[in-house]
Amino acid sequence: MSVTLKSRTARDAAALIEAGAAPEARRAEIEAVAERYAVAVTPAMLDLIDADDPEDPIARQFVPSLAELDARPEELADPIGDEARSPVKGIVHRYPDRVLLKPMHVCPVYCRFCFRREKVGPGGEALGEAELDAAIAYVAERPEIWEVILTGGDPLMLSPRRLKHIFSRLDAIPHLGVVRLHSRVPVVDPARIDTALLDVLSGAEKTVWLAVHANHERELTEEARAALKTLHGAGVSLVGQTVLLRGVNDDAATLEALFRAMVRARIKPYYLHQGDLAPGTSQFRTGIEEGQALMRRLRGRLSGLAQPTYVLDIPGGHGKVPIGPAWLEGSDAEGWVVEDVNGVKRRYRPA
C-alpha cells in the first residue's frame, strides 16, 4: 500500500477501501452506516489496521459495521444524561465541584461505540463567542466549581489560537484549580501535538491534566509515545481512559498489555468504562459480571500504577460509580472475611 493512500483521513467507504482498511464487499454497509453516523479514520489508525484480520481490534473501533444500525430498546440517544444536566449551552454540570465545557463536537476519529454519536460529526455545533461567554460566566459565578473539563468532541481539534483564548478565560477565574482535557489526539493524530499546542498547554496558569483515550496496546505507537513524552515534558499530567469493548479488549491479557503500555508512556490508567447504552452499540457491550471478572484477574497481575477503576456512568446523568469486584465479604463476631488475589478467603481480625 502506498504512503499516498494513507496520507489523509478516510471519511467514507471509498477512502476506507482505497486505504485497505475495508474490503470492497463491505462498501454498501459502510455507506449505509455513514448516512447515519460520522466516519473518520486518521492515517495513524489506518496504518494499524490489518485488512486480512476480520477481527482486527483497531478496525473494529473505527470502521463502520452494519450492526450499528441495530438500535435496541434499552439504548438511549443521550445515554449519560448530558442534556438533563446542561443549564447553559456547552456546559454539563453533573457534580458540585466540576463541569464539562464542550466548545465543539468535532473529533479526529469517530469511534463506533461513542456515547455522543448522536451529537458529534463534521459540522457539529460549536460554541459561538456569545455562547462561550455565557458558559464561562456560568463557571465564574459559581465558586464551588474547582475543575473544568474540556470535552466535546475533542478539544485538541481546536486551533491553538482558539484553545489559548479559552485557557486565558479560565485562567482568569480565581476559584478554578484544574483544567482537564479529554482527547484521542495524542494517540490517533500525534502530529497535532506540535510546538504551538505545547506552548498553549505549558503556558496555562491553571494545572492542566489530559485524559488520553486508548483501548488497545497497538494504539500506543512510537509516534504516540513521542507525543505523550512531549506533553509530559510540557508539564501536562496524563491519565488514561479505556472503554471495555467486546472483541477489542475484553480479555485479561489484552488489558494487561494496554495498561502496562500506558504506564510506560507516562499515563496513569484512570478509568475502565463499562460500555454506555448508546444506539447501535450492543455489539461492543460486555456484561458487568464479565468486567468484574477481568478486574479480579488483573488484581495481583498488575501493580497499583497500572490499575484503573472500573466504572459505570449511570444512565440519566446520575454520575459515575465504581462497579469493580468486592474483596471484602462482611464481618461477624470473629472479624472480617476478605478474599486475596488468588481467590482464597482470609480472616481479618482488627484489634
How many residues does the structure list for the chain?
351
Cell numbers for 218, please give them: 497497538
CB atoms under 10 Å from CB of 247, counted, come to 13
Cα separation, 188 vs 42, in Å, equals 6
Q: Closest Cα partner for 62 from 26, 18, 21, 29?
A: 21
The answer to whether domain 83-321 has CATH 3.20.20.70 is: yes
pLDDT tens digits, one per residue of 33-55: 999 999 999 999 999 999 889 89
Using omega within 30 degrees of 0 as the cis cutoff, is the peptide bond preceding 153 cis? yes
The answer to whether 206 and 176 have CB atoms below 8 angstroms apart is yes
What residues act catalytically? 94-95, 98, 107, 111, 114, 116, 276, 313, 320
Which has the minimum average pLDDT: 1-5, 61-65, 147-151?
Answer: 1-5
Mean pLDDT of the chain: 95
Residue ranges per domain, the chain?
3-69, 83-321
Q: What is the pLDDT of residue 124?
A: 65
Q: What is the pLDDT of residue 127?
A: 95
Cell numbers for 81, please give them: 444524561
pLDDT tens digits, one per residue of 151-177: 999 999 999 999 999 999 999 999 999
Q: What is the pLDDT of residue 40?
A: 97
Q: Does 1 have pLDDT greater than 90?
A: no
Instruction: Supply φ then ψ for residue 264, to 5 degrees.
Output: -60, -30
What pTM does this model have? Answer: 0.95
**Which stretch of DSSP H or E encloses residue 94?**
strand 91-95
Inter-axis angle of helices 252-264 and 288-298, to 10 degrees? 60
The answer to whether 173 and 133 have CB atoms below 8 angstroms apart is no
Is 8 strand, coil or helix?
Answer: coil
Q: What is the pLDDT averaged over residues 233-246?
A: 98
Residue with cell 485557557: 167
